[in-house]
Structure 1
Amino acid sequence: MRVFTTRTGAVAGRPAPRDPGVVVLRGIPYAAAPFGAGRFRAPRPAASWDGVRDCDEFGPVAPQAAELPGSPVWSPADEDILSLNIWTPGGSGDALPVLVWIHGGAFVFGSSAQPDFDGTALAGRGLVVVTLNYRLGFEGFGHVPSTGGAEPCPDNRGLLDQIAALRWVRDEIAAFGGDPGRVTVAGQSSGATSVACLMAMEAARGLFRRAVLHSAVNACAIPESAALTTAEVAAAAGVPATHDGLVSASPKELVDASDQVAENYRSDPGSGRRHYDPAIYGPVAGVSGLPLDPLTACGAGAGREVDLMVCHTAEEYWLLDAVGSCAKVTTEEQLAVFASDHRLPGSLPAAYRALMPGASVNELYLALYGDMLFGEYSSRLAESHARAGGRTYLSRFVRQRDGRGERVRAWHCADIPFAFGNVDDENVHFLMGGPPSAADRDLAGRMTHAWAEFAATGDPGWPQASSGGAVRIWDTSPEGGGSRWDAFRAPWRAAGLPLLAP
């Protein structure tokens, strides 16, 4: 056991099971429980404690319905959810680069305790790794109408939690061997979009020097759509869409109501964009704290001083299809409606059909949808940052595998076990198509090395991106399989990309 001293109290960690040279501490509170008087408010400081706090277990997860393999589940009794975890190979005075990880999960599920986010391998490469929990769903991203004279309930409370965690890192990480001047904040999917939002937020300025985005999702909302979602969720919960009405609903009631609203969209083909993947929450742009969506903000030079590394997978949406979380589109008529619902020109499906001879309608739809939400959006974030003068690196994960008798694609989330160096954990083998091969372990070694080098120096080891510039290809052969994916970008350059949800 090793003891570290923070401003709120002493904490004790233990050697990581996979590497005794790394100490892991779990469940350190970075802010107070966001319930009771603090519900729907900005995060407040954590209370101090006496003695040594044994940090041997992950903290409770945010309210959610999900039950993920190898991860804790939420219980309605869990309230002290704003905690973080640290893997460190050092101690006070070492000044090692720091990597702070923000998990994904459509802004409604997930936690820092997922096995694929274990920081041991990255810490073994000389990083201090921090993972954190933050408010999700309505608690973190639902719009709460203000009431006269009361303390305001800000939008984007989940982002404010992340900023509170980064402030904790700034103030405390030196005690764990980290350099507060060399902080990289990284995330995947909704976690990556969170990081992109942080780059655009004045409240986060100066809290990190570098950023890593894996499969950022095109999911920001405008205030009007956030207010509409609140009205729908309140109605499903049976309460008024007011501050007092929403406070009267328990966190579980709002989780259940949110799931009901999402299911209503999923079961109604005539409900527009949300029918295909009813992710009803996301950061609200155009409000105090986040005046612009990340892509617009990057193009205007917000966060230009932050070094940026972006990665997306080549076949993002095939995972959502495999787990049954998105609608099926199997006819030409349905494909045309999908394009119309998303304001996409007919030239896009036609272009994909030419690029994917022999593909089924559903495969065309998955390719289009994955690029619209993740691949093209992530690439444009990188290119906008580069055009605005930011140091930028772009990469694409294309590794595929035949596993369990069927093809496992380069789909959403598949790159994360490789970047963390956790490919041997059986909880992630579904993403990979089975246990890793020697080539998989080599790929994981190259990706963790790139992350570590970027966090330490700002250079992951390949040329910087510019508009239409260099893209690093991640595959089990160092440069294999990459060039054919570039062709899918041309139709989007001609068609444009829808930004904010209506």
Structure 2
Amino acid sequence: MSVFETTCGRVRGNDPDRGVVAVLGIPYAEPPFGADRFRAPRPRKPWEGIRDCVAFGPVPPQSAQLPGAPGWSPGDEDVLSLNVWTPAADGAAPGGARPVLVWIHGGAYTFGSGAQPDFDGAALARAGLVVVTLNYRLGFEGFGHVPADGADPCPPNRGLLDQIAALTWVRENIAAFGGDPGNVTAAGQSSGATAVACLMVMDSARGLFRRAIAHSAVGPCYSPELAGHLMEKVAAEAGVPATAAALAAASPEALVKASDAVVDGYRQDPYSGRHHWDPVIYGPVADGVQLPADPVSLIAAGTAPGIDLLVCHATQEYWLLDAVGSCAKVTTEEQLNRFAADYGLPDSVTRGYRGLMPGVPVGDVHLALYGDLMFGEYSSRLADAHARAGGRTFLSRFARQRGGSQPVAYAWHCADIPFAFGNLGEESIRFLIGGAPTAADHHLSNRMAAAWAGFAAAGEPGWEPLTATGGPLRTWETTDTTRAPAPGHWSDSGTVRALWRSFGYRPLLP
């Protein structure tokens, strides 16, 4: 087994497998419980001897049990760990240290981990990268508002602070694994993509990475008022006062259960506003200090021009959320109108989608509209803002689906990630891609992984960057294309982008 020297002590990884060494469950911070609960992460204390790092570490508190991934066990506290995949041999690339890709998983800021099988970094390591995945605090532990109560305030966005601590660990230690600490790409999908966008504009993350990959970024951020409102609802469900002391005395399991109860309450109440349609109750808070505003507005102001950015989103994002039952069904025009009103969508947007989708069920109109609202348009504006501010920006869309007019797998949320990681052989992702992968699927996966590797290595995914007035768009399909959309529209459908001109994203309020 391979042994690596870190600032906290030596770690031993697994035996090489097809030329790659996996070093799993390396702690990067102290357990965030006891006196450290709801606090910023503290650096890990050194250990004696060699620490065996051959299995994933415990996952943060959550109620989800994801296919092929470990679940949370109440009592597990050492949850801030990361995993490294690095090419074997001498630990150094022929031309020097290797580029590093740090993966931040999605999961509505509430579930998931760096141990999910579709995030295995071996294939990308064989493509020449050093790959890091990580765990960070989720749910109330990571993003719940904690009142000051006259004591030292507990910081908001603790999950983001954990990610910064992991990136700091990478800067200080990745050279021992053959990685270049000066050539780090922060990458993520869904909530992980938005986390990456937040890190791009946070002063405390400045200089920790030079490139960013954001697949299906979702927004906007929460306002402090909304975070406080949701905290009060969770505290009430947990049966504790809405104070820092009472919340800290409640067990992580109790707050997970209380959070699930709040989510279920929104699901059951069709007149509870935005949260009824997609009851996500945690997310980054634009507190005016750590995160001054939503990242799209800060990036538009030129906050991160020195960071290269690669953006992607899927063409049928919300069909997955519908298939797994995580969003409310829309079957009538009245429901569609209520949905639009709850999100403050202009009538021109809903009318436009109806006009672009004549004769289809109203539920499909809703899914198309919702997918673009939450992911497609927000991601496109992220790319738009960075390019117009002078940042080097690349835009792509994932459009691969399997089947005809009623596909067994849409080009939906999360389906692009196993293609980019090169993990199509994982049984747990068969539902996402519609069965066993075909030869064309493997070819697509190879192209997407090469784009990630090229971007992480030198900022070159394989097509030209956007300009302030438009640019090429890569569409990932089994036969992908790159073409220039209509001027001013950086989607393959300028008509769709034009419908959103009258809509503005603002921090979410109660």
Normalising by the residue count of structure 1, what TM-score does the alignment of the two structures yield?
Answer: 0.97
Aligned to 1:457: 458
Tell me how far apart the structure 2 counterparts of residues 49 and 301 of structure 1 sit (CA, whole Å): 42
Unaligned runs of 5+ in 1: none
Is 1:478 the counterpart of 2:480 in the alignment?
yes
**1:267 is aligned with what amino acid?**
Q
> 1:261 aligned to 2:262?
yes
8 Å contact kept, 1:342–1:498: no
SS at match of 1:126: coil
Question: Which residue number in structure 1 is paired with residue 41 of structure 2?
Answer: 43
2:348 corresponds in structure 1 to 347
Other structure's SS at 2:227 match: helix
Q: AA paired with 1:394?
A: L
For the Cα contact (< 8 Å) 1:22–1:124, is it kept in 2?
yes
Aligned match for 2:495, one of 484, 487, 490: 487
Residue equivalent to 2:75? 77
Superposed, 1:341-420 pairs within 5 Å as 341-402=342-403, 406-420=407-421
Cα distance in 1 between the residues matched to 2:503 and 2:40: 36
Q: Distance in 2 between matches of 1:151 and 1:468?
A: 47
Distance of 2:235 and 2:229 partners within structure 1: 10
Check the 8 A contact 2:474/2:480 in 1, yes or no: no
1:285 positional shift: 0.4
8 Å Cα contact 2:191-2:217 kept in structure 1:
yes
The verdict on how the C-alpha distance between 1:484 and 1:102 changes in structure 2, with shifts beyond 3 A counting, is closer
- Secondary structure at the residue paired with 1:49? coil
The residue number in structure 1 matching 2:64 is 66
CA–CA distance in 2 between the matches of 1:407 and 1:433? 5
Report the CA distance between 1:499 and its aligned residue: 2.8
Which residue of structure 2 lines up, in the alignment, with residue 435 of structure 1? 436
Q: Do residues 496 (structure 1) and 497 (structure 2) align?
A: no
Aligned twin of 1:8: 8
SS of equivalent residue, structure 1 residue 282? coil
Q: Is the 8 A contact 2:80 2:135 kept in 1?
A: yes
Structure 1 contact 343–498 (Cα < 8 Å) conserved: no
CA distance 1:54–1:362, change in 2 (3 Å): same
Identity level (%): 63
Q: Given the two structures, how large is their TM-score scaled by the length of structure 2?
A: 0.95
How many Å separate the matches in 2 of 1:422 and 1:219?
A: 30
SS in structure 2 of the partner of residue 408 of structure 1: coil
Cα shift at 1:347: 1.1
> 53, 56, 65: which one pairs with 1:55?
53
Aligned to 2:190: 189
**Secondary structure, counterpart of 1:179 in structure 2:** strand
CA distance in 2, matches of 1:217, 1:96: 30
Distance 1:492 1:128 in 2: 39
Between 282-291 and 135-144, the greater mean CA deviation after superposition: 282-291
Cα 1:406/1:380, change in 2 over 3 Å? closer
1:217-366 matches, within 5 Å, as 217-366=218-367
* Cα-Cα RMSD: 1.6
Q: CA deviation at 1:215?
A: 0.2
Residue identity in the other structure for 2:495: A
1:355, distance to aligned residue in structure 2 (A): 1.3
Q: Which piece of structure 1 moves more, 353-362 or 236-245?
A: 353-362
User: 2:28 and 2:407 mapped to 1: Cα distance?
Assistant: 44
Runs of 5+ consecutive residues of structure 2 not aligned to the other structure: 486-490
2:115 to 113, 116, 121: 113
Distance 1:160 1:279, change over 3 A: same
Contact 1:219 1:282 (8 Å CA) reproduced: no
Query: Counterpart of 2:504 in structure 1: which amino acid?
Result: L
* Structure 1 residue 480: Cα displacement: 9.0
Q: Verify the 8 A CA contact 2:473 2:492 in the aligned structure 1.
A: no
Equivalent pair of 2:346/2:503 in contact (CA under 8 Å): no
Tell me, what secondary structure is at the counterpart of 2:14? Answer: strand
